[in-house]
Amino acid sequence: MTNVILKASSIVTMDPTNPRAEAVAFDDATGKILAVGTVADCQAAAPGTAVTDLGTTVLMPGFIEAHSHPMLGGMITQTPSYWIAPYMGYPHISDVHALWTKVNAELPPDQPVVFEGLDRLLQQASMPTNTDLDAFFPTRRAVVLDNSGHVAYFNSAVIAFNKWADGKPPPNPPGAHFGRNPDGTSNGIAYETAAQLEAVLPTVKDAVPHPLESAAKWLQYMAGFGITATSEMTYSTNMLKGYEALTTRPDSPVRMSLYHMAIDSDAGVQVASPDPAMLRKQGVKLWADGSPWVGSIASSFPYLDTPAVQHAEIPLGPGGTAMMNYSRVELDALLAKYAPMGWQMSFHVNGDVGLDIVLDAYEEALVNNNLMGTDHRWRVEHCGGCRGDQFERAVAMGVTISLGPFQYIYWGDLLDGTMFEPAIGSQWMRWGDAVRAGAHLSFHNDGPVSPPIPLLNIQTAITRTTDTGQVHGANQIIGIEDALKAETIGAAYMLHRDDEIGSLAVGKYADLVELSMDPYLAEPLKLATEVKVQGTWRSGRKIDLDAYMQQIQAVEAAGTHPVDHAAPFTAHKC
């Protein structure tokens, strides 16, 4: 047994019984904490162990992102793909056009390319047709994915590669369709997953030849922001081999909890994991409604009739029950199927009408399965347009809430007064109400929707400030303690891992983030830039992200853990 004692300038434990410490001792064979307290406490628990002094570094439990899509995130945002979302350095469509010109000039002539994140609202972009894209990519194949996940755009070279007879797409698959010109030929647009897959998957396969490495890059990216545990919210069985490889390397930086897409016929099956502490199936995921950026949320309130909303081709609504992906009868049937199996349920829902229906269905299923009052921790995700009284009802039922501050950070200025009337828009993502309701709250960035930056979520939660510095709904500001909980112990609770991670306490894993300064001492409006992430530890091992990539490349070269490109792509509707 080799023990380690780390001394820091301060340790924020997130354990209310022992909130601050100066040192932590752990057994690096088990990866578990032996003591958290003074140096003397640690030496008593680990006699004869040398003390490593980290100087001015502040330690915290590793951050936890309770809702992500790492495999998809890696495939479509990391090199060799290009991430063109507005907040990744492309605020306007003209910035995207400049990148397209540069890429086409620099890459080898036949190299196909994938761009993720065209945002019609924020970048003031129109839907590009094949002819629009041909102007930038006259010969190479080019695929552009809409930031909403609902639409894919492609150029004429892709249409030719697909060998569609006379350039005409095949018949529309169920629930999806191809854009067509008046003469029946493709206009270079595919709507919804099944049509996107048929139109662009062959090109994505050629453009992203190493999907396991791409997924590992996403996990590297998360770890770079201090994250040591996350989830895959769009798990399907053909991702299992890939996730086994990603989570069982010596330097695997991030623990993974899998939520199986309910649309899969085998969504109820158990998953045997080589290491349940690193990889485990936790629940089943459904989409109750859609996205605020395309007008598919089940809300009681309409959009405003403004030029930005018109330009993005968003129906004014209110969407109401028409935007539900399932009828109440269908929801009841799904819950009746999965609840008796013991799976934790997780529902994507953005609109207030949608959350009412989800909570009604949850209530009935919890009662029917004798789960009311138990430790079920069923989840609701995003909840952008939902209300505080709904959060109170969720809490009373034992339902946990994961909010996405990214919706507020990047779209907040549009939400308040351009997309919705201020009474709705200024209150989008009501983390203040959630805390007041006593929620088990977590935050997420929904990768690949937005970059996974816990410190920026915390800064935003405590200042209610968007990326342009504006404040909408200051009544939703929360304190730093509650914000930190949403990125640590609150998220661990949601993942049913609070007995293992989320705070620094004896017996838990030594999953740590090294910070350059105490987040409590940072200027709130500059927290995410003043506080630097210096590294992470997972199970008491200092993570080497370069070594991790080499370990993954070795697996990918061996071909023992193949990743099917179609699997994550099917999930491209976060």
**Residues in binding contact with Zn ion, number by CB under 5 A:** 3
Residue 332 Cβ vs Zn ion, minimum distance, rounded to whole Å: 23
Q: Which residue has the closest beta carbon to Zn ion?
A: 574
Residue 444 Cβ vs Zn ion, minimum distance, rounded to whole Å: 8
Residue 413 — φ and ψ, nearest 5°?
-65, -35
Residue 380 Cβ vs Zn ion, minimum distance, rounded to whole Å: 12
Residues near 232 by beta carbon (within 8 Å), at least 6 away in sequence: 68, 69, 70, 71, 239, 243, 256, 257, 258, 259
Write out the two tokens for 433.
Answer: 């109400």
CA distance 313 to 295: 9
Write out the two tokens for 549.
Answer: 């990539």
Closest to Zn ion by CB, 431 or 537:
431
Omega before 562 within 30 of 0, i.e. cis: no
Contact indicator for 3, 49 with CB cutoff of 8 Å = yes
Closest to Zn ion by CB, 379 or 472:
379
Contact indicator for 525, 505 with CB cutoff of 8 Å = no
Closest to Zn ion by CB, 26 or 347:
347
Residue 230 Cβ vs Zn ion, minimum distance, rounded to whole Å: 11
245 lines the binding site for Zn ion (CB under 5 A): no
Candidates 20-28, 152-160, 231-239, 314-322: pick the segment binding Zn ion (CB under 5 A): 231-239
Candidates 88-96, 166-174, 226-234, 465-473: pick the segment binding Zn ion (CB under 5 A): 226-234
Instruction: Look up tokens 């992470």; give the residue.
Output: 536
574 lines the binding site for Zn ion (CB under 5 A): yes
Closest to Zn ion by CB, 116 or 446:
446
Q: Provide the 10 A C-beta neighbour count for residue 237.
A: 17
Contact indicator for 331, 362 with CB cutoff of 8 Å = no
Residue of 71, 486, 479 lying closest to 238 (CA atoms): 71
Beta pairing class for 186-191 and 3-12:
unpaired
What is the x/- site pattern for Zn ion, positions 491-530, by CB under 5 A?
A: ----------------------------------------
Closest to Zn ion by CB, 67 or 541:
67
What is the x/- site pattern for Zn ion, positions 434-463, by CB under 5 A?
A: ------------x-----------------
Residue 301 Cβ vs Zn ion, minimum distance, rounded to whole Å: 23
Residue 54 Cβ vs Zn ion, minimum distance, rounded to whole Å: 35
Beta bridge partners of 541: 538
380 lines the binding site for Zn ion (CB under 5 A): no
Write out the two tokens for 59.
Answer: 């330690």
Residue 234 Cβ vs Zn ion, minimum distance, rounded to whole Å: 7
What is the x/- site pattern for Zn ion, positions 337-366, by CB under 5 A?
A: ------------------------------
- What is the 8-class DSSP label of residue 225? T
Closest to Zn ion by CB, 540 or 568:
568
Residue 233 Cβ vs Zn ion, minimum distance, rounded to whole Å: 5
Residues near 349 by beta carbon (within 8 Å), at least 6 away in sequence: 288, 289, 298, 355, 358, 380, 381, 382, 383, 386
Closest to Zn ion by CB, 261 or 543:
261
- What is the 8-class DSSP label of residue 544? -
Residue 259 Cβ vs Zn ion, minimum distance, rounded to whole Å: 10
Residues lying near Zn ion in the complex (CB under 5 A): 233, 446, 574
